[in-house]
């Protein structure tokens, strides 16, 4: 069991640690460039290829799409209630508490733990999460959102093109699937390296409250996912992927939004860091139960 667990978690944390150590040693890592490339080219290709890989199974997995939507909505509502109850200042707390790092960490974990089937479902959750990030989270941070801004989000175009091929029963040309497969394969390791590099640059405030909130955030994700999987009657890979993706730490994207719109960026940075550290313990525990 230990060797199986180590084989799943070690690549994720070791590659992130490599990015962390690289920056801490004073080496240059172009996080901004890699992030822009991932968000505009790599992630759309990964999502496109992942959804195409599901094919007709995506239509059969509509319950998983709805369940992913339900999890994220529930997390958003609970995060808002917690922020109001604790009188937390700013909208950055809501964005941080509801978000999950289902891309940088979640996708490789789904792949290593549950194979291609797990990656496909992980991509579905990630796609739903991205839609929320570029609509609800952006609106919370900025205060408003325009259709023109959404039209510039290339990841949403990747989802749209994949759905077009699936719903029309059309097979994408080989050159397109081969290209997106190569780009998608490059994206996951770059996501992990960038995660580590970003954590190395974060200025973390040593706050017991923020550490406690980070623990609550992960516990909230696990609890909500357990409830949703029970309500939907999920078992096997569907149950495991939904719980795993929901248990991920605060997304780096939350910090980018908080920083860009000045929504308590230092506190959000601390929650990204603390929740990622906590996940080093919680992820192996969850996988021990799942595998």
Domains for the chain: give ranges and CATH numbers: 2-290 (1.20.1530.20)
Contact indicator for 148, 265 with CB cutoff of 8 Å: no
Question: What are the tokens at 77?
Answer: 């509502």
Q: Is the pLDDT of residue 222 over 90?
A: yes
Give the pLDDT of residue 153: 73
Q: What is the DSSP-derived secondary structure letter of residue 264?
A: S
Nearest Cα to 126, choosing from 198, 59, 48?
Answer: 48
Q: How far apart, in whole angstroms, are the C-alpha atoms of residue 12 and residue 4? A: 14
Measured in Å, how far apart are the chain's first and last C-alpha atoms?
Answer: 8
SS3 call for 106: helix
Quote the pLDDT of residue 141. 65
**Residue owning tokens 């394969």:** 185
What pLDDT is recorded for position 149? 65
Q: Give dist(CA 224, CA 232) in Å, integer.
A: 12
CA 233 to CA 228: how far, in whole Å?
Answer: 8
3 vs 162, higher pLDDT: 162
Provide the mean pLDDT of the chain. 85
Instruction: Give Cα separations from 38 to 7, 17, 72, 229 (angstroms).
Output: 25, 19, 23, 30
Tell me what pLDDT residue 204 has. Answer: 72
pLDDT per position as a tens digit, 86-129: 888 777 788 889 999 998 889 999 999 999 889 889 989 998 89
Ramachandran bin of 29, using left for φ above 0, alpha for ψ from -120 to 50, beta for the remaining angles: beta
Question: Is the confidence at residue 24, as pLDDT, over 80?
Answer: yes
CB atoms within 10 A of CB 109: 27
Q: What is the pLDDT of residue 146?
A: 65
Q: What is the CB neighbour count within 10 angstroms for residue 78? A: 19
Alpha-carbon Rg for the chain, nearest whole angstrom, is 18
Residues 179-187 have a mean pLDDT of: 86
pTM attached to this predicted model: 0.86
pLDDT at 236: 92
Per-residue pLDDT tens over the stretch 43-62: 888 888 888 877 767 667 78
- Name the percent of the chain lying above pLDDT 90: 34
102 versus 12: which is more confidently predicted?
Answer: 102
* Higher per-residue confidence, 129 vs 136: 129
């Amino acid at each position: 069991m230990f060797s199986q667990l180590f084989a799943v978690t070690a690549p994720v944390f070791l590659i992130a640690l490599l990015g962390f150590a690289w920056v801490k040693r004073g080496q240059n890592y172009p996080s901004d460039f890699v992030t822009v490339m991932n968000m505009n080219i790599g992630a759309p290709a990964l999502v496109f290829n992942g959804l195409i890989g599901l094919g007709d199974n995506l239509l059969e997995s509509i319950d998983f799409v709805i369940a992913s939507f339900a999890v994220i909505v529930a997390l958003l509502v609970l995060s808002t209630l917690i922020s109001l109850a604790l009188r937390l200042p700013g909208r950055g707390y809501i964005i941080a508490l509801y978000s999950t790092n289902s891309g940088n960490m979640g996708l490789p974990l789904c792949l290593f733990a549950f194979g291609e089937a797990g990656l496909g479902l992980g991509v579905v959750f990630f796609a739903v999460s991205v839609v929320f990030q570029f609509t609800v989270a952006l609106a919370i941070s900025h205060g408003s959102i325009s259709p023109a801004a959404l039209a510039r989000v290339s990841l949403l175009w990747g989802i749209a093109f994949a759905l077009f091929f699936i719903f029309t029963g059309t097979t994408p040309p080989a050159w397109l699937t081969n290209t997106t497969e190569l780009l998608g394969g490059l994206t996951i390791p770059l996501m992990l390296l960038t995660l580590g590099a970003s954590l190395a640059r974060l200025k973390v405030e040593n706050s017991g409250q923020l550490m406690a909130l980070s623990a609550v955030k992960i516990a909230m994700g696990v609890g909500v996912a357990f409830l949703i999987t029970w309500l939907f009657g999920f078992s096997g890979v569907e149950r495991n992927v939904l719980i795993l993706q929901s248990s991920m730490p605060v997304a780096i994207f939350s910090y980018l939004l908080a920083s860009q719109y000045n929504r308590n960026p230092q506190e959000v940075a601390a929650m990204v860091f603390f929740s990622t550290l906590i996940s080093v313990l919680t992820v192996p525990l969850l996988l021990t139960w799942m595998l």
